[in-house]
Structure 1
Amino acid sequence: MSEMFCFQCEQTAGGKGCTKVGVCGKKPDVAGKQDELTGALIGLARAAAGKTPGKLADALTLQGLFATVTNVNFDNARITELIDLVHTEKAALDPQALDFPAAALWTGNEDIVSLRSTLLLGLRGMAAYAWHAHILGKTAADVTAWFYTGLRALGEDHTADEWLTLLMEFGQVNLKCMGLLDEANTSAYGHPVPTKVPALVEKGPFIVITGHDLHDLKQLLEQTEGKGINIYTHGEMLPAHAYPELKKYSQLKGNFGTAWQNQQKEFDNLPAPILFTTNCLMPPKASYADRVFTTDVVGYPEIKHIAAGNDKKDASIIDKALGLFGIGAQEKSGLNKDFTPVINKALELGGWQEDRHFTGINGGTEVMTGFARNAVLGVADKVIDAVKAGHIKHFFLVGGCDGAKPGRNYYTEFVQKTPPDTVILTLACGKYRFNDLSLGDIGGIPRILDMGQCNDAYSAIQVAVALAQAFNCGVNDLPLTLVLSWYEQKAVCILLTLLALGIKNIYIGPSLPAFLSGNVLNILVEKFALTPISTPEQDLQAILSR
Structure 2
Amino acid sequence: MSMFCRQCEQAAKGTGCEVVGVCGKNPEVAALLDLMMYGLKGLAIYADKAREFGASSMVADMFLIEGLFTTVTNVDFDPVQLAGKLRKCYDQKEQVKAMYESAYRAKNGAAAPAITDGPAAWVIADNLEGLVAQGQAHGVKSQHSDPDILSAIEIIIYGLKGMAAYANHAYILGKTDEEVFAFFHKALAATTDASKGLMDFVGIAMECGKLNIKVMEMLNTGHVEHYGHPVPTKVQLGTRKNKGILVSGHDLRMLEELLKQTEGKGIDIYTHGEMLPAHGYPGLKKYSHLYGNFGGAWQDQAKEFPNFPGAIIFNTNCIQRPADSYKDRLFTWGEVGWPGAKHLTGYKFDEVINKALECPDLPDAPGQEILTGFGHNAVLGVADKVIEAVKAGAVKHFFLIGGCDGAKSGRNYYTEFAEKVPKDCVILTLACGKFRFNKLEFGDIGGIPRLLDVGQCNDAYSAVQIALALAGAFNCGINDLPLSFILSWYEQKAHVILLSLLYLGVKNIKLGPALPAYLSPNVLQFLVDNFNIGQIGSADADLQASLA
TM-score, length basis structure 1: 0.92
CA deviation digits over 1:443-463, x for unaligned, max 9?
A: 100000000000211101111
User: Which of 519, 522, 527 is matched with 2:522 structurally?
Assistant: 519
CA distance in 2, matches of 1:86, 1:511: 34
Residue 417 of structure 2 corresponds to 414
Query: Are positions 1:381 and 2:384 aligned together?
Result: yes
Q: CA deviation at 1:53?
A: 2.6
* Partner Cα distance (1:516, 1:291) in 2: 40
CA contact (8 A) 1:211 1:235 kept: yes
Partner of 1:224: 262
* Contact 2:5–2:140 (CA under 8 A) maintained in structure 1: no
Distance 1:414 1:357 in 2: 29
CA distance in 2, matches of 1:492, 1:342: 33
- Within a 5 Å distance, the mapping from 1:256-271 to structure 2 comes to 256-268=294-306, 270-271=308-309
CA contact (8 A) 1:194 1:371 kept: yes
The aligned counterpart of 1:367 is 370
Alignment of 1:92 onto 2:95 = yes
* Residues 476-530 of structure 1: per-residue CA shift (max 9 Å, x gap): 1000000000000000000000001100010000111101111111110110010
Q: Which residue of 1 aligns with 2:40?
A: 41
The amino acid across from 1:156 in the alignment is D
Checking the alignment, whether the CA contact within 8 Å between 2:31 and 2:139 is kept in structure 1 is no
1:268 counterpart SS class: helix
Deviation at 1:109, TM superposition (A): 1.4
Q: Per-residue displacement from partner, 1:74-120 (whole Å, max 9, x unpaired)?
A: 01111111111111121122165551685263242111111111110
Paired AA for residue 532 in structure 2: A
Q: Which of these residues, 161, 170, 186, is aligned with residue 133 of structure 1?
A: 170
2:152 aligned with 1:120:
no
Q: 5+ unaligned residues in a row in structure 2: which ranges?
A: 99-113, 123-134
Partners of 1:280 and 1:436 in 2: CA distance: 21
Residue 346 of structure 1 pairs with residue 356 of structure 2: yes
Kept in 1: contact 2:425–2:450 (CA 8 A)? yes
Secondary structure at the counterpart of residue 201 of structure 1: coil
Residues 405 and 104 of structure 1, relative CA distance in 2, 3 Å threshold: closer
Q: How does 1:471-486 map to 2 (within 5 A)?
A: 471-486=474-489
Query: Structure 2: how far apart are the matches of 1:189 and 1:124?
Result: 26
Q: How does 1:46-445 map to 2 (within 5 A)?
A: 46-48=45-47, 49-51=49-51, 52-94=55-97, 98-99=118-119, 103=138, 105-107=140-142, 108-157=145-194, 158-268=196-306, 270-308=308-346, 337-352=347-362, 354-358=363-367, 365-445=368-448
Q: Is the 8 A contact 1:169 1:500 kept in 2?
A: yes
Give, in whole Å, the separation in 1 of the partners of 2:302 and 2:398: 35
2:535 aligned partner: 532
Partner of residue 26, structure 2: 27
Tell me how far apart the structure 1 counterparts of residues 165 and 448 of structure 2 sit (CA, whole Å).
32
Question: What is the distance in 2 between the residues matched to 1:228 and 1:345?
Answer: 13
Q: Which amino acid aligns with 2:156?
A: L
Amino acid at match of 1:519: N
Instruction: Give yes or no for contact 1:269–1:288 (8 Å, CA) kept in 2.
Output: no
Cα distance between partner residues in 1 of 2:382 and 2:219: 23
- How far does the alpha carbon of each residue in 1:141-180 deviate from its partner, in whole angstroms, 9 at most, with x for none? 1111111011101111221111111111111001101111
The aligned counterpart of 1:315 is: none
Q: State the alpha-carbon separation in 1 of the partners of residues 369 and 308 from structure 2.
A: 21
- State the distance in 2 between where 1:185 and 1:194 align: 16
| Residue in 2 that maps onto 1:470 | 473
**By how many angstroms is 1:386 displaced?**
0.1
The range that moved more, 7-16 or 257-266, is: 7-16
Q: Counterparts of 2:9 and 2:97 in 1: how far apart (Å)?
A: 37
**Alpha-carbon distance in 1 for matches of 2:119, 2:307:** 44
Q: Structure 1: which amino acid aligns with 2:89?
A: V
Following superposition, the deviation at residue 269 of structure 1 comes to 5.0
1:170–1:496 CA contact under 8 A, matched in 2: yes
SS in 1 for 2:455: coil
Deviations 1:399-439 (A, max 9, x none): 00000001000000000000000000000000000011101
Q: What CA distance in whole angstroms lies between the structure 2 residues aligned with 1:104 and 1:159?
A: 21
Can you list the C-alpha shifts for 1:196-250, whole angstroms capped at 9, x where unaligned?
1011110120000010000000000000000000000000000000000000000
The 8 Å contact of residues 4 and 140 in structure 2, kept in 1 or not, is answered as no
Partner of 2:108: none
Amino acid at match of 2:85: L
Q: Structure 2 counterpart of 1:149, which letter?
A: K
Kindly indicate whether the alpha-carbon contact (under 8 Å) linking 2:50 and 2:96 is maintained by their aligned counterparts in 1. Answer: no
What SS class does the counterpart of residue 167 from structure 1 fall into?
helix
Deviates more, 1:471-480 or 1:154-163: 154-163
1:244-285 deviation digits (Å, cap 9, x = unpaired): 000000000010000000000000253111110000000101
Aligned counterparts of 1:26 and 1:473: Cα–Cα separation in 2: 46
Deviation at 1:357, TM superposition (A): 3.7
Cα contact 2:430–2:455 (8 A) shared by 1: yes
- Rounded Cα–Cα distance in structure 2 between residues aligned with 1:455 and 1:219: 19
Structure 1 8/104 Cα, relative in aligned 2: closer, same or farther at 3 Å? closer
SS at 1:534 equivalent? coil
Check conservation: 1:260, 1:402, Cα contact below 8 A: yes
Q: For residues 321 and 302 of structure 2, what CA distance do their matches in structure 1 show?
A: 8
Matched AA of 1:487:
Y
Q: Which residue of 2 aligns with 1:325?
A: none
When structure 1 is superposed on structure 2, of 402-411 and 260-269 the one drifting more is 260-269
C-alpha distance in structure 1 between counterparts of 2:203 and 2:235, whole Å: 43
Does the CA-based 8 Å contact 2:468-2:478 persist in structure 1? yes
Structure 1's consecutive aligned runs of 4 or more residues displaced over 4 angstroms after TM superposition are 95-98
- Separation in 1, partners of 2:401, 2:192: 36
Give 1:50 shift.
Answer: 2.9
Q: Which residue of structure 1 lines up, in the alignment, with residue 458 of structure 2?
A: 455
Gaps of 5+ in 1: 309-336, 359-364
Matches of 2:80 and 2:155, distance apart in 1: 27
1:299 Cα shift?
A: 0.3
Cα deviation code 1:346-404 (max 9, x no counterpart):
1100223x41245xxxxxx2211100000000000000000000000000000000000
The answer (yes or no) to whether the contact 1:68–1:124 under 8 Å persists in 2 is yes
- In structure 1, what residue type is equivalent to 2:158? L
Query: 1:163 corresponds to which letter in structure 2?
Result: F
- What is the alpha-carbon distance in structure 1 between the residues aligned to residue 227 and residue 119 of structure 2? 40
